Structure 1
Amino acid sequence: MRGGLSKTFAVLSAAGLLAVSACGNSGDDSGDTASKNVTVFTWWADGGEKAGLDGLVSVFDTNCKDYKFVNSAVAGGAGSNAKQVLANDLQSGKPPSTFQAHAGAELKDYITAGQVDDVSGLYKDFGLDTAFPKNLIDQITVEGKIYSIPANVHRANVVWTNPKTLQKAGIDAAKAPATVDAWIADLTKLQAAGVKAPLAISKGFAQEMLVEAVLLGELGTDAFNGLWDGKTDWAGANVTAALNKYKTLLTFTNVDRENIDWPDALQYVNKGQAGYTLMGDWVAAQQLSDGVKETDYTYWPSPGTAGTFQFLADSFTLPTNGQNPEGTKCWLKTVGSAEGQKAFNTKKGSIPARSDAVPTDYPKYQQAAMADWKKDKIAPSCAHGSACSAGQNNDILSALSQFSGAQDVAKLQTALGTALKTS
């Protein structure tokens, strides 16, 4: 496979590499202290993500007393900053004890580069082969092996609304439009009612998530999943039609979409400056952290995707030649444990990967998500690593950034198909 980590390395200038190297592993001490350190590399530096990490650490400190947690989080960029630092560390042969990654195809580049070890045996050792649902294990298995342990499951295909804003346009916020076309009709109503940006969106992966939601809603689960395993043709007329509807959706979005991040888009909705935003269910934790009342927003699966759970999973790896492998295994055991997943997910806004979690331990949204996870069809997300490799995702993000300006559907469709064939 061409591309992969080399693409990540290529974007870093020599000066950039020098700058980020100082931010890398923080556990390079010497002596007995270093032998106990478990350096955990994440992008969970603040908000609900940091609170979730703190929950995991509290369980690790109790159950792994022989080891010391060392926080090596890198903030910003929805993980993009952290991934650049990690790429430098791995290329330099200085892997941390463990690093955060999205479970599934995103790991292919690390696997090809020989930078992560197979942890399939740990699934049996820790009882995860029975604690995790089979559909999740199948989704994150790469060529018959598993290379990470998920801490959670997030849902990507969620629309968040402002009921008061929708009500002004005569729209029922509790009822999801059945199709993308019906959603476009509602967006038109909002625009006519004077809402300047009916659909709030942000840069980068948020646009990729919207494209995926439209493709999923228009193609259906099986054909959408086929886009990632080669069974569905990216050049097909159904893909063309879906991308044209994505182009239409962009006409209802905020003009600063290339300059803001997803929390800013969410604030447009909260302030009544937009009716909708599409974002993963970490929004629930953000709303809780911001003190937004549950009565002030509603949520539902993106139009046309009811009955499908588009998933992603934050997970942790066992790096090849990483620091303190025995301590790392204790961390991985904590990540997969019932206690660890409860401590993490009740604060993170995600749901546990384990099937034996108790729904009443979680807030309202997570209870609903847990029920859907058990009954819905499952679809992966390229934007969040479960459907495609990092190299493929880089190419897709580049194509979408170009499309945000030029909006040439034929060019976008060709670029998406090429990304999956050549990256």
Structure 2
Amino acid sequence: MRTTRRALAAVVSVAALLLTSACGTGEDDSTAAKVEVFTWWAEGGEKAGLDALVNRFTTACPGQEFTSGAVPGGAGINAKQVLNARLAQNDPPDVFQVHAGAELLDHIDSGQIKDLTAEFSSWGLTGTLPEGLIETITVNGKLWSVPIGVHRANVVWTNDQVLAESGILTAPRTMKDFIANLTRLRRDGVESPLALGRDWTQLMLLEAVLISELGPKRFTGLFTGTTKWDGKAVRSAIEDYATILGFSNADRDSLDWPEAERLLIDGKAGYQLMGDWAAADLEANNFSGYDSFTFPGNGKAFQWLADSFALTTGAANAAGGTCWLQTVASPEGQQAFNAQKGSIPARTDAPTTGFSDYQLEAAEDWKSGVAVPSCAHGSACSQPWQNAANAALGAYSASGDPAALQSALAAAAKQFVRQG
């Protein structure tokens, strides 16, 4: 197993990068212009990363004051609903967090966010972001959001003590091996061998299983229309998913991912599939008895998602929002944020000072692996498609009807896929 036991806390450099473009001149705090930044980062390593970025912004953008618009909830499950309501009511924040990729399609079509293509060049982003990432966030030949960090979704986290007590000392390489380990844990009295949360976390699990069954290319084709959701391979993956789901906690539909993670920390589960932001959160909870490995059968697939920020067309403080984005785009801003959050910089030239062993290894995997997008985190599918997939999995979690699940997923694809 890959060890991730090194502390993730970083000593962030206090040297300030003074940004001049789009950032106002120095003013007294009492007259500072407020910049509302809408996010779902409200606790743990996510909040620590945001705080580090805010500190950088405060120094880099004198005369601008950060105002939090945070709405808690893993993967933005709650924040996205609030944001959409505000945009519909013509009450936009200045900037908002979003997953880079297809998740932005509806906002682009509605004219709710600004074209940032020119800023990418002036801020030095052109040529410093991986080609695959640029391709994904380019729509109609334009760039619409500034990515700050890349996470890997298809990672399994362990409680080493729980596994050792069942004689499990190595990471499973195949789906068959993984199911055998889950069976052993259940046999040895672990009621919920796999810790699992609600909707989007279940979609993450299904996606990992699909990658193992289909491979990266055919998996990606599920969201471009080249791979059929109603095919035999998807049905086989759903059968494996059903088997694995049977080893999870019965209250999964009522838990967010940190609550499911608590089962792992407390020794009530042996495994949890979760993005690599979990490493920072485990450390924040003073739990060091864990390891991690890529989901069995995924091989070199790096299922990615990128946290990014977009500027609204109706921003009350467009200059302040632009300065926030410039801070996000800077190498120093990306280093400060990712060192705390546990992700890796979107920029390939950002410093890695203070990064953990896991982050350094993830950065290497990002360079050498096979990039695969995630519907659960908006890089592969639009928000309505993601909502439909989550609803289908929620219904399946209650009914256990695999045919109904496949039919619902195929119907969603038929409705939302955008070819070409």
TM-score, length-scaled by structure 2 = 0.89
**Aligned-partner residue type, residue 361 of structure 1:** G
Please list, as runs of the form range in 1=range in 2, the aligned pairs for 1:20-419 lying within 5 A after superposition: 36-76=33-73, 78-172=75-169, 175-293=170-288, 296-419=289-412
Q: 1:306 to 1:34 in 2, by over 3 A?
A: farther
> 3-state DSSP class of the match of 1:190?
helix
**Aligned-partner residue type, residue 92 of structure 2:** P
Which ranges in structure 1 are unaligned for 5 or more consecutive residues?
A: 1-31
Could you tell me how far apart the structure 1 residues matched to 2:274 and 2:136 are?
A: 21
Q: How big is the shift at 1:264? A: 2.1
**Aligned-partner residue type, residue 308 of structure 2:** S
Could you tell me how far apart the structure 1 residues matched to 2:31 and 2:113 are?
A: 21
Selected match of 1:420 from 397, 410, 413 = 413
Could you tell me how far apart the structure 2 residues matched to 1:318 and 1:263 are?
A: 29
**Aligned-partner residue type, residue 254 of structure 1:** N
Could you tell me how far apart the structure 1 residues matched to 2:74 and 2:223 are?
A: 25
8 Å CA contact 1:156–1:279 kept in 2: the answer is yes
Runs of 4+ in 1 over 6 A off after TM superposition: 32-35
> 3-state DSSP class of the match of 2:181?
helix
Which deviates more from structure 2 when the two are superposed, residues 141-150 or residues 94-103? Answer: 141-150
Q: How big is the shift at 1:194? A: 1.8
8 Å CA contact 1:308–1:377 kept in 2: the answer is yes
**Aligned-partner residue type, residue 383 of structure 2:** A
Could you tell me how far apart the structure 2 residues matched to 1:148 and 1:34 are?
A: 29
> 3-state DSSP class of the match of 1:258?
helix
Could you tell me how far apart the structure 2 residues matched to 1:34 and 1:398 are?
A: 46
Could you tell me how far apart the structure 2 residues matched to 1:244 and 1:90 are?
A: 40
Which ranges in structure 2 are unaligned for 5 or more consecutive residues?
A: 1-28
> 3-state DSSP class of the match of 2:127?
helix
8 Å CA contact 1:176–1:302 kept in 2: the answer is no
Could you tell me how far apart the structure 2 residues matched to 1:368 and 1:318 are?
A: 32
> 3-state DSSP class of the match of 1:228?
coil
8 Å CA contact 2:335–2:352 kept in 1: the answer is no
> 3-state DSSP class of the match of 2:228?
coil
Could you tell me how far apart the structure 1 residues matched to 2:186 and 2:68 are?
A: 46
**Aligned-partner residue type, residue 142 of structure 2:** K
Q: How big is the shift at 1:407? A: 1.4
Q: How big is the shift at 1:185? A: 1.4
> 3-state DSSP class of the match of 1:354?
coil
8 Å CA contact 1:180–1:218 kept in 2: the answer is no
Q: How big is the shift at 1:193? A: 1.7
8 Å CA contact 1:359–1:370 kept in 2: the answer is no
8 Å CA contact 2:70–2:79 kept in 1: the answer is yes
Could you tell me how far apart the structure 2 residues matched to 1:189 and 1:115 are?
A: 51
8 Å CA contact 1:199–1:275 kept in 2: the answer is yes
8 Å CA contact 1:169–1:193 kept in 2: the answer is yes
Q: How big is the shift at 1:357? A: 2.9
Q: CA RMSD in A?
A: 1.6
Greater share of helix: 1
